[in-house]
Structure 1
Amino acid sequence: MRAPSLRHALARAAAAAAALLLSLTVPPPTARAASGPDSLVVRTDRGWVRGAAVHDGGRVFQGIPFAAPPTGELRWRPPRSAARWSAVRDTTEPAHPAPSYR
């Protein structure tokens, strides 16, 4: 019974390492301010996003998709670019987290 649990732990560690490596290799979306360096609305290569100001004078943009969801034909394939959007996307809140199975 020990071998399956060790195999399971190794598979989880390998999946976590692969996810970390993938996140380091995907370049962030390029951004350009809409109306100056302090604007909360900026344009990425996929569309416009609205962020939030933080107490120290910085800006935060959360949940910007960097790739298409890995479902259907995209499952177990290299990531594809996220779809473009036309309206200003609200990025003031975190996106839904990925499911975690125990």
Structure 2
Amino acid sequence: MFDVNHIAKLARLGLTEEEKDRFAKDMTNILDFVKKLEEVDVVNTEPTAQVTGLENVTRPDQTSHRETEETRRQILANTPETKDNYIKVKAVFE
């Protein structure tokens, strides 16, 4: 049904004979299970995309405080180097 050597070549895996045998058994078990799933009668079953019922569980991005000019001044006063009211740091990329 499938060629272990071909799959290993596609995945660029160097497999020993023992690994090939184990992989073949594992794939056979997986494909047998999929075959069983295909036999399940789902004619009267409502299709679902997800089962939790949760929607939009993330929160919007919001700051916890407003930046004031005084806060900005204090931050810039505590940095080693600034440029045009921004903190200047060493280049990450050359």
What TM-score, normalized to structure 1?
Answer: 0.29
Compare CA radii of gyration and give the structure with the larger one.
2
Greater share of residues in strand: 1
- Structure showing greater relative contact order (alpha-carbon pairs closer than 8 Å, 6 or more residues apart): 1
What TM-score, normalized to structure 2?
Answer: 0.31
Greater share of residues in helix: 2
